[in-house]
Amino acid sequence: MLGNLLGGFIVIIVGVNLMPAVADGVWIATHNTTSGSASEGSVTGSSATILDLVTLFFAIGIMAAAISMAINGLKNAGIM
């Protein structure tokens, strides 16, 4: 039980610490231009919209993994 709960907290901590790196990578991918101007990106249209959602899906994945680990730990302990 304690191992799953601890694992869930570790997943949350690592995910939260990696979130800025993921967000920076998405920003670089959407705003990288050859002219040096950050006003227009190399990815436009629906591709840019989907790429902007990568950070959200990363956060949802981290949250889902941590919650499932905590739920499994509570089920194994008989609490839930």
Mean per-residue pLDDT, 56-70:
89
Please state the length of the chain.
80
Q: Lowest-pLDDT range, 14-18, 20-24, 36-40?
A: 36-40
Taking Cα atoms as reference points, which of 21, 16, 40 lies closest to residue 30? 40
Name the more confident of 41 and 54.
54
Question: Is residue 38's pLDDT more than 90?
Answer: no
The pLDDT of residue 57 is 95
Q: Considering the entire predicted model, what is its pTM?
A: 0.75
| Mean predicted confidence (pLDDT) in 27-55 | 77
